[in-house]
A and B are shown apart, each in its own frame.
Chain A
């Protein structure tokens, strides 16, 4: 491949974990796991042999860098060589097997692929077509995640509302006393709304702390056969903040009905209870 162009497509230089990304004639870049399997380090020479119906074609390369492409299988079978060396190895002088494009808007890939397929005599595939199963799985995951979030939100709202309804029933006499002392309906409502907000905010803080602890435990104890964490999970501060704001809002929302009930209590009746 042409290193500079490929780098603009996939940001290869940012994936280098050892050595320096350089592809002069006679040089090559290996996936990190392939290098580990072969016992090869940066600066070593490796022989590459391509077997085809017309026979074996080989070349000798000096390894200039190791890359981590983010997927173990790719790291195990990736050898990047200069375009001319590749053309020679696969018997395609002046040609190429693939042309890859990168787009500013990734979601326009399908329509552009269709447009290019009509215009040029090549097989053009979008990343969605190449990864149809993955896209389908991600879509399903998005839907199920949204459903779970929605259900959790409803459960949270109902849970806080239940606590506040019980509180409203238990505190009726106190509410009556406060009303007798000149507390307005608005003040009573605000007390309950504030209580809902506090419950929501406190719950979100506890939830975030629990999530951080669980993520820590998961990444520490759930590891692959190579000893590395199976998944790389993190909780971005922005996300934690958004969750806290959302939970606080849910708390206020849950408090609306109990607050209105409390504010509408007849003070004389509430005191008599």
Chain B
């Protein structure tokens, strides 16, 4: 397994990460107990575990959506734990893509507009090249004929494919997917998963996928199992 980039740094490295909620209150609870984890460029990993084990919290911390309560988190060797909101926003733009269980597409925008949204947010406008690239990514997702359709006109599987295209359009080194197939039937689920594998192979993007589906987890290259806020198992899939 390739765990470091040419400069010798992992893509992400968490060391002794803790997460506590309601600190100082009677209902204070710690959901992550010193999680240490590295992910290399080009990995395709599954994060599994029972409900309440802290998977989504860990994914939010890796996605810079939630602050950690303790520990260290580095992206490309840079400590990001102490960054302010502007710094976190910039790192999210440059390093991360997100796919959620519910596609969370903007309903008033077409598929193409949803996919060009990150470029719009980043630069204030969408260039012709960016629009063409978004078309290409959508076409690669099999959505070439649905560019101008709104989310409400697409099936669940197609909506999730648009969401994956949106996550990939900025070519982030890492895509974080929280139950990306959790809301789909088996056929659509297989389609979406196959597409993520295809984009991983073609673009070299790393994927960290939270899933409850052992069938899909078994098809990832690496499986990380979180139980009660601790990593119980972390290993490469058996051939």
B121 touches A185 (CB 8 A): no
Interface size on B, residues (CB 8 A): 20
Which of B65, B93, B122 touches A267 (beta carbons < 8 Å)?
B65
In the bound complex, residues from chain B placing their C-beta under 8 Å from that of A180 are 63, 65, 92, 98
A268 touches B66 (CB 8 A): yes
Main secondary structure of the interface of B (DSSP, over half): helix
Find residues 90-127 in chain B having any chain A CB closer than 8 Å to their own CB: 90, 92-94, 98, 100, 104, 106, 117-118, 121-122
A180 to B178, CA, bound (A): 13
Chain A contact residues (Cβ within 8 angstroms of B): what range?
A: 10 to 19
The residue on B at minimum CB distance from A183 is: B121
Task: Decide if A174 is an interface residue (CB 8 Å cutoff).
Answer: yes
Which of B65, B86, B106 touches A271 (beta carbons < 8 Å)?
B65
Find residues 227-273 in chain A having any chain B CB closer than 8 Å to their own CB: 266-268, 271
A177 to B90, CA, bound (A): 15
B21-37 Cβ-contact flags toward A at 8 Å (1 or 0)? 00000000000000000
B89 touches A182 (CB 8 A): yes
The residue on B at minimum CB distance from A268 is: B65
Which of A181, A184, A266 touches B118 (beta carbons < 8 Å)?
A181
A179 touches B104 (CB 8 A): no
Q: Contacts A177-B106, A180-B92, A271-B65: A187 and B121 contacting too (C-beta < 8 A)? A: yes
The residue on B at minimum CB distance from A188 is: B121
Task: Decide if A178 is an interface residue (CB 8 Å cutoff).
Answer: yes
A181 touches B98 (CB 8 A): yes
- Which of A173, A181, A266, A268 has the largest number of chain B CB atoms within 10 A? A181
B121 touches A182 (CB 8 A): yes
A179 to B117, CA, bound (A): 12
A185 touches B85 (CB 8 A): yes
A267 to B89, CA, bound (A): 11
A183 to B100, CA, bound (A): 17
A183 to B98, CA, bound (A): 13
Task: Decide if B60 is an interface residue (CB 8 Å cutoff).
Answer: yes
Min CB gap A260→B, angstroms: 14
Min CB gap B163→A, angstroms: 9
Min CB gap B115→A, angstroms: 11
B65 touches A184 (CB 8 A): no
Min CB gap A71→B, angstroms: 58
In the bound complex, residues from chain B placing their C-beta under 8 Å from that of A187 are 121
In the bound complex, residues from chain A placing their C-beta under 8 Å from that of B104 are 173-174, 177, 271
Q: Which residues of A approach B to under 8 Å, CB–CB?
A: 173-174, 177-185, 187, 266-268, 271
